[in-house]
Amino acid sequence: MEEIAAFGVLGERLGLQLHYADVRAMAGLAARLSPLKVTPARATAIVYIALHAGCDQTTLGRALGVNRASTMKAVDELEVLGAIERRPGRDRRTNALHLTAAGETLRARIEQETLAHDQAAFGALTVAEQAELSRLLSKVRSDSASA
Amino acid sequence: MEEIAAFGVLGERLGLQLHYADVRAMAGLAARLSPLKVTPARATAIVYIALHAGCDQTTLGRALGVNRASTMKAVDELEVLGAIERRPGRDRRTNALHLTAAGETLRARIEQETLAHDQAAFGALTVAEQAELSRLLSKVRSDSASA
DNA sequence: TATTGTTATACTCTATAACTATA
DNA sequence: TATAGTTATAGAGTATAACAATA
């Protein structure tokens, strides 16, 4: 990808700057997670299931921002990977999602790699700058939610 | 999409916060550009061609961060849309990309919508905060480039 | 009637590989 | 040999629509 300056006035837009930063960060994270055989999206699913053991697929899908059909594919993949399992849920319609022992090991490695990536990607910022970036981003998110 | 808090420790990562902010901003921009029949990616191509009239497809692709095959599809679409045209290039292998009159009109509307979106998405920040966010993002980008 | 999981299907975006015509 | 454009094909990722079982 070329320089933002190549886009003139629009290159000064915060939206474009934000997008470029995100694309680069996501590519870096994907590369780091690649040896673990998970994408950032799958890794996010694993982390969510770890924190919400027994949740159903619809709930997971909502958390990930995808519909039930897409959630199916994710859950199928993670099951084939041996990271999670479907157990009987609160009623006969629902599955309760749980990490397997292998999934817990994987989750730990994901957390490690993810935090290491964060440090690599944002390490150029001082601690104060990181806190400020976090504050600004949360302000942006809460606003664009209402827009 | 649910709350970042649903991801525990990893929800505090700047990478996730950045990604969520970007996903929301891009969705908003896509919705705004939708009546113009262009996606954010196509809009970016139009803006680039406007600023680099006569550029070839390979150069455009590099600027957009996609390969030649993907660039073909983008150029084809924009040509069907009537926004750009392929003219003879600097040698017989290359095309020189130019906006049509309709493309110039479209570019103006894209610029207007894009700037309006930026204001909507980042309007919650003061001017000083916007400048600071821009500074922090450029620092992140320049660092992750070397990482 | 509404919800959950499921399946089939299709669409978008992007990539790889191979071909052609030029250079 | 290398480059620009092109084409065909395939792989992610996601969505919609419909169905069965259950509530």
User: For tokens 């994408």, what's the residue?
Assistant: A39
Please give the share of chain B, as a percent, with pLDDT higher than 70: 96
For residues B110-121, give the mean pLDDT: 96
Closest CA to A47 of B15, B141, B6: B6
CB atoms within 10 A of CB B1: 14
Structure tokens at A107: 């989750």
> How wide is the angle at C-alpha B19 spanned by C-alphas A78 and B51, nearest 5°?
125
pLDDT band (50, 70, 90) for residue B1: low
| Beta bridge partner(s), residue B84 | B99
For residues A38-52, give the mean pLDDT: 98
Which tens digit of pLDDT belongs to each residue from B80-92? 999 999 999 999 9
User: Which of A14, A47, A117, A127 best tests the B interface by mutation, with the highest count of B CBs <10 A?
Assistant: A14
Strand D within 7 A of B72 CB: yes
Mean pLDDT lowest among A100-114, B2-16, B26-40: B2-16
Of B42 and A6, the one with more pLDDT = B42
Instruction: Return the nearest residue to C12, CA–C1'.
Output: B39
Q: Which nucleotides of C are covered by protein (CB under 7 A)?
A: 3-9, 12-18, 21-23
Q: Which CATH number fits domain A4-146: 1.10.10.10, 1.20.120.1750, 1.10.150.450, 3.90.950.10?
A: 1.10.10.10
For residues A39-54, give the mean pLDDT: 98
Structure tokens at A44: 């996010």
Say if residues B26 and A19 touch (Cβ distance below 8 Å). Answer: yes
Q: What pLDDT was estimated at residue B3?
A: 82
Q: What pLDDT was estimated at residue B60?
A: 98
User: Which of B49, B52, B97, B133 best tests the A interface by mutation, with the highest count of A CBs <10 A?
Assistant: B133
pLDDT over 90 (residue A8): no
User: For tokens 């998110």, what's the residue?
Assistant: A141
3-state secondary structure at position A15: helix
Say if residues A15 and B27 touch (Cβ distance below 8 Å). Answer: no
Q: Taking CB atoms and an 8 Å cutoff, what residues of chain B touch A26?
A: 15, 19
pLDDT band (50, 70, 90) for residue B35: very high
pTM listed for this prediction? 0.94
For residues B130-138, give the mean pLDDT: 96
A141 CB near a chain B CB, below 8 Å? yes
pLDDT over 90 (residue B78): yes
| B residues 59..88 contacting A (CB < 8 A) | 62-65
The helix (run of H) or strand (run of E) holding residue B12 is: none
Q: Which letter does DSSP use for residue A54 in this model?
A: T
A26 CB near a chain B CB, below 8 Å? yes
Say if residues B86 and B99 touch (Cβ distance below 8 Å). Answer: no
C-alpha–C-alpha distance, residues A124 and A119, integer Å: 9
Q: Identify each DSSP E strand in chain B by its residue range.
A: 84-88, 95-99
User: What is the rounded average pLDDT for all residues in chain B?
Assistant: 94
Q: How far does the CA of residue A45 sit from the closest CA of chain B (Å)?
A: 9
Residue ranges of domains in chain B: 9-146
Structure tokens at A55: 């949740």
Q: Which fold is adopted by the domain B9-146?
A: Arc Repressor Mutant, subunit A (1.10.10)
pLDDT band (50, 70, 90) for residue A142: confident
φ, ψ dihedrals at A84, nearest 5°? -135, 170
Alpha carbon of residue A94 to chain centroid: 24
CB atoms within 10 A of CB A105: 12
φ, ψ dihedrals at B132, nearest 5°? -65, -40
Q: What pLDDT was estimated at residue A11?
A: 83
User: For tokens 């504050």, what's the residue?
Assistant: A135
* A126 CA to D4 C1' distance (Å): 45
Instruction: Return the nearest residue to D20, CA–C1'.
Output: A93
